[in-house]
Structure 1
Amino acid sequence: MTTTSPGANHEGLDAVLAHLERLKALNAASGNDLTVKRRLLDSYFAADPAILTIRGRVEPLLIPVRDGRVIAAERLRPDDPSGTAGRYLLYLHGGSWMAGSAASHRPLAARLAQACRAEVISIDYRLAPEHPFPAGLEDCLDAWAWLADEHGDAPLLLAGDSAGGNLTLACLNALDTAGLRRPDAVLAFSPATDLDWESDSLHRKADVEPILDPELLPLIAQLYLGQSPAAARDDPRVSPIEGDLSELPPTLIQCGEAEILLDDSRRYAEQARQSGSPVQLSLWPDMPHVFVGFAPRLAAARQALEEIRHFVDSHLP
């Protein structure tokens, strides 16, 4: 099912777009300094102080993973300890596989904890280019295995945005091979699903895209895969659209219609539905990349969180 939200409220959109356009200009001016680029992307959601002011409890966490390592994470709970409904959500942040962190995405993760009535575990998976594929995906799978082991009888959700949305859907393609349980429901916000970059919207939406540059995406994919790639770009663990999309768990994909990754969401949802999977695609007119993270400043983001609440409640006990 594809839904377009005709009543999407544009209140706050001008401020968000101005913030994203400034970030894009600063990113272009930063040259090849990855440290600077990462600091800029850490401010992705900082369009308004209200966005950075969150409710709930946040505590640091270490998750044991393969080879005796640990990865840093954050545990986020709603204000009311009884408000989790016994649910747990693993969150995978965006940032082009090269930036972002649990801290940069704390506002969105905290609001998902409220909307989903879940305890959210937001992880710092390894980033490229220092740690190319499959390092980040391995961390996500290991964190999921840990969560399933810790809370095997509870309803479990998996969610992510942008590159984290890619990792979320890539995990679905790898869980069976890894012998891990699938999530009970999945949320993906503006996911990148095709790293061959064959979606028509990459060019059709370039004039309205406030933050992403279609010319840079092939370079980003190259840095993610590394100098000696462990997989081709059409590997389902890299491009989720290339996987077996049958028997997926209930999945909600939210995407703005003013972003170049629009057709990545459309194509994935259509292919999944043709394979018989219950994937709901929710499109939001004039909204930018990962717009849901700009609540409460952006009214449409508040609406999107309500949609998430209803989706999760309808699929989980």
Structure 2
Amino acid sequence: MNLRLRFALTFALLASLALLSAAPLAAQGDERLGEDGTVRMDGVSVPLSNLMSEEAREYLRHLILDKPFGTAVPDIAEERARQDAIMQGFLDPMRRRYAVDIAQDTIGGVVVDIVTPAGGVPANHSDRVLINLHGGGFVTGARSASLVEAVPLAALMQIKVVSVDYRMAPEHGFPAASEDVESVYRALLEHYEPGKIAIYGCSAGGFLTAQALARFQAQGLPNPAAAGVFCAALDGYSGGDATVLAGPLLGFLPPTPSAPRTAPPPAAGPNYMSSAQRDDPLAYPLASAEVIAQFPPTLFISGTRSFEFSAALNSHNALARAGVESRFHGWDGMFHGFIYNSDLPEAREAYAIMADFFQTHLAD
């Protein structure tokens, strides 16, 4: 596997682009990383964007220089616990900002988290529901990233959000997660009209959203009213300029010639998509123009320093060519999973756009 592909797949395994790089990290005190967050690549200095909020500029500087989230650990239980702790750090301030109630339930035989606005769902929204599919590279994020993705929309839209604890790798492979989403969707269809259901997710959850829509088609199920593919694309996470540039722009630079040599990263092992075929639209929906032409209105959210930015834009264009209503919103300088940090004005702006998109398409 070449380094570029390894770079993309490794980043896709985590909830934030700042968590890990497949390339060796720049040495401490690397002169290519300026204290103001400027990154120098091949003689070109790239400063922080002047189009970002001050809060985002300071946070991005922190990500580039301090790399606060460390690196993944081999033991899956330890890694899940580590990622859950990272997500808790995002959830705590989010819950202070957005008042919600959280409860565990089982729907269609699948464990779910039910997130509702504090005080309950108002009567005029009681017939509407959102399905959330959490991020985490199909490896982590259950009961943690799921809440970070569900809390803002439950509060802003005054709506019930059902976040699915789908099966993940390494215990399970494709299409286990799609099967779980189908089970939950079938059960919800017994109580909600399809025009009053929307489905969305971030990172792996965004990719799974696309897979789920393809599976609903294959199983003869009606489309939900709308979909949100956030921090992902209809065929995964990688491809185009963004995959090549995102890592270095976040300070994950290769070693200088004078830096001590380190061992190469270990070979990538089996992952959730290992057995999937690239031409299978249930795995990679963008492989079939016929399948994506049947998608519901879809919203894409990304950032220019997110490795999936190019792929998401390409997916948006593909839906538009197919005659599907599609919206793409990107934020300059934003990184993979930026919507997890509710302290950023850009994240809160994204929540408002999500809420408006879903409210617009959920049937009255």
- TM-score range (shorter-chain normalised) is 0.7 to 0.9
Shift of 1:99: 0.9
Segments of structure 2 that go 5 or more residues without pairing to the other structure are: 1-49, 253-263
Q: What secondary structure sits across from 2:329 in the alignment? A: strand
- Which of 82, 85, 89 is matched with 2:122 structurally? 82
Does the 8 Å CA contact 2:246/2:307 hold for their aligned counterparts?
Answer: yes
**Structure 1 residue aligned with 2:345:** 299
Does the 8 Å CA contact 1:16/1:298 hold for their aligned counterparts?
Answer: no
TM-score scaled by length of structure 1: 0.83
Does the 8 Å CA contact 1:196/1:234 hold for their aligned counterparts?
Answer: no
Aligned partner of 1:224: which letter? Y
| 2:96 matches 1:57 | no
Over aligned residues, Cα RMSD in angstroms?
A: 2.8
Deviation by residue 1:110-166 (Cα, 9 ceiling, x = unmatched): 111123332100111001111111111111111111111222376101011100100
**Structure 2 residue aligned with 1:119:** 160
Segments of structure 1 that go 5 or more residues without pairing to the other structure are: 1-5, 65-69
Does the 8 Å CA contact 1:194/1:239 hold for their aligned counterparts?
Answer: yes
C-alpha distance in 2, partners of 1:308/1:290? Answer: 15
CA 305–195 in structure 1, closer or farther in 2 if over 3 Å, else same: closer
CA 93–210 in structure 1, closer or farther in 2 if over 3 Å, else same: farther
- Which of 62, 82, 87 is matched with 1:18 structurally? 62
Shift of 1:40: 2.4
Does the 8 Å CA contact 1:148/1:181 hold for their aligned counterparts?
Answer: no
- Which of 281, 293, 305 is matched with 1:246 structurally? 293
| 2:228 matches 1:187 | yes
Shift of 1:198: 3.6
C-alpha distance in 2, partners of 1:291/1:61? Answer: 28
**Structure 2 residue aligned with 1:173:** 214
For 1:1-317, list aligned pairs within 5 A.
9-15=53-59, 18=62, 22=67, 24-27=69-72, 30=73, 32-45=74-87, 46-47=89-90, 49-53=92-96, 54-64=98-108, 70-80=109-119, 81-82=121-122, 85=125, 86-152=127-193, 155-195=196-236, 197-209=238-250, 219=268, 222-226=270-274, 229=275, 231-243=276-288, 244-295=291-342, 297-316=343-362, 317=364
C-alpha distance in 2, partners of 1:131/1:107? Answer: 24
C-alpha distance in 1, partners of 2:237/2:341? Answer: 29
Q: What is the percentage of aligned positions where both structures have the same residue?
A: 24
Does the 8 Å CA contact 2:237/2:308 hold for their aligned counterparts?
Answer: no
Shift of 1:108: 2.5
Shift of 1:10: 4.2
Higher alpha-carbon Rg:
2
C-alpha distance in 1, partners of 2:197/2:284? Answer: 24
TM-score scaled by length of structure 2: 0.73
Number of residue pairs aligned between Structure 1 and Structure 2: 296
C-alpha distance in 1, partners of 2:205/2:286? Answer: 15
